[in-house]
């Protein structure tokens, strides 16, 4: 248990569906992240939020829409996804925003399958 909780753990969705991934942390952290990890590939940073403000969008397609209503919650809204978007989506948090102390805590991830 890392203190970062992601729901759901598994999700199967059609290409025309709309779904949302949720991430919650009560560690008092100010930075939250979304990562994508495709099979046998390194983690790809998608979005970074510092103090609820988006500070990084790593050229992510608009079919992925993040939302950070407060410093404890982070959402990833999904719509009209493609099969190649199937991956493990990981949320993380850290004290942030500086990374000279780069200890982050990761959730267990959501295994997304797009059919």
Q: Is 70 in the site for other proteins (CB under 8 A)?
A: no
Comparing CB distances to other proteins, the nearer of 13 and 88 is: 88
- CA 75 vs CA 15, 47, 89, 92: distances in Å: 19, 11, 11, 12
Task: Of 36, 102, 47, give the one whose Cα is nearest residue 74.
Answer: 47
Using CB under 8 A, pick the residue from 13, 43, 65, 73 that binds other proteins: 43
Using CB under 8 A, pick the residue from 21, 46, 81, 92 that binds other proteins: 92
Q: Is 83 in the site for other proteins (CB under 8 A)?
A: no
Instruction: Report the DSSP pairing between strands 110-114 and 10-13.
Output: parallel
Q: Are 106 and 90 in contact (CB under 8 A)?
A: yes
- Positions touching other proteins (CB under 8 A) are 2, 4, 31, 33, 35, 42-43, 45, 48, 50, 55-56, 88, 90-92, 94, 96-109, 111
């Amino acid at each position: 248990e890392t203190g970062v909780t992601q729901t759901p753990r598994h999700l199967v969705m059609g290409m025309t569906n709309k779904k949302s991934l949720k991430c919650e942390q009560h560690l008092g952290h100010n930075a939250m992240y979304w990562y994508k990890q495709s099979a046998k590939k390194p983690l790809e940073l998608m979005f970074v939020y510092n103090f609820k403000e988006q500070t990084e969008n790593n050229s992510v397609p608009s079919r992925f829409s993040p939302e950070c209503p407060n410093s404890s919650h982070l959402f990833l809204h999904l719509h009209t996804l493609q099969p190649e978007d199937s991956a493990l989506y990981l949320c993380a948090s850290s004290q942030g925003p500086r990374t000279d102390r780069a200890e982050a805590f990761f959730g267990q991830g959501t295994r997304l399958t797009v059919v």
